[in-house]
Amino acid sequence: MGLLDGKVAIVTGAGRGIGRGEALLLASHGASVVVNDVGGEWDGTGTDDRPAAQVVDEIAAAGGTAIANGDDVADWGGAHRLVDAAVEAFGDLNILVNNAGILRDGMSFNLDEEAWDSVIRVHLKGHFAPTHHAARFWRERSKAGHDAPRRIINTASESGLFGNAGQANYSAAKAGIASLTIVLARELAKYGVTVNCIAPRARTRMTAGTFEGFGEAAEGAFDEWSPDNVAPTIGFLASDAASDITGQVFVVWADRVHLMNGWSLDNTVERGGQRWTIDELIDAKDELFADHDPGAPPMGFGQ
């Protein structure tokens, strides 16, 4: 008996990297998987149907069930075809893992319009478009009396949670995805859909060129940066055991799952039933920032 027997999953951007590991793991636990990937370059250029087909072959060789889909997740019609493909092939949809992504880094004064638009498009619209079509499908199913566990698992980044210099487009898109997760969790609860979000860390082609020290593990040592370390958290959130978990964000890597807490109230100054003046706010500045550094917050968190 697999933990995900009878479940139908879509994993976007599953031809490589983190998504590949997620598709393989979901399939190994019994889910029927749609392996979506345009097969483009890391910067979003080009297409290639081989990466998705190869993952489908790997799943089949391991005794699992999968089909490939080469639609662009940020294309409204393509995202619709992707959801339809799952339903046509496997009769339902239970799990949508939004993972596809690209990078076009640059400081704000260097980023051009194309770099901004393409990253916002693939990540933010590429999360929303499949979600929209899945949500419509689930709402109709639910209204027709079909209740089933339904899951959306989004992929943000610590770059979006903390704001990374040099990634204005990517950080803004990923912060949007974290916020979108909470909106969707509220909107879709009544249709049995939980919506959560991970911010992974892994050695993939996306990070290979960005970070030093993302090398292979020493012989016999635990490979902390393997992209396959991320998938078990996806499997957990997709499982029936996670039916009460929704609207949450987790940083996931190596042997760690960090449960994050978003914007939270730190301090308040009150004028007492009257509008503040600028001079009064200047005077209240030290009280407002008591125990709070007024500079840009640190990137990341202590581990």
Ligand X SMILES: NC(=O)c1ccc[n+]([C@@H]2O[C@H](COP(=O)([O-])OP(=O)(O)OC[C@H]3O[C@@H](n4cnc5c(N)ncnc54)[C@H](O)[C@@H]3O)[C@@H](O)[C@H]2O)c1
Q: Which of 11, 27, 100, 134 binds ligand X (CB under 6 A)?
A: 100
Minimum distance of ligand X from residue 244's CB (angstroms): 25
DSSP string, 210-256: T-TT--PPPTTS--TT-GGGSHHHHHHHHSGGGTT--S-EEEEETTE
229 binds ligand X (CB under 6 A): no
Write down the residue that tokens 């949007």 correspond to.
176
**Shortest approach of ligand X to residue 19 CB, angstroms?**
6
Size of the residue set binding ligand X (CB under 6 A) = 35
7 classed as catalytic: no
Tokens describing residue 113:
């319009």
Residue ranges in 269-298 that form contacts with ligand X under rule CB under 6 A:
none
Span near ligand X by CB under 6 A; candidates 13-21, 189-197, 275-283, 288-296: 13-21
Check: CB of residue 156 under 8 Å from CB of residue 178: yes
Based on CB atoms, which residue is closest to ligand X, 16 or 141?
A: 16
The catalytically annotated residue of 118, 157, 159, 226 is 157
| Distance from C-alpha of 195 to C-alpha of 187, rounded to nearest angstrom | 10
Residue type (1 letter), 97: V
Assign residue 165 a region: left if phi > 0, alpha if psi is -120 to 50, beta otherwise?
Answer: beta
Active site residues: 157, 170, 174
Residues that bind ligand X (CB under 6 A): 12-13, 15-19, 36-40, 42, 44, 51, 72-74, 99-102, 122, 126, 155, 157, 199-202, 204-207, 227
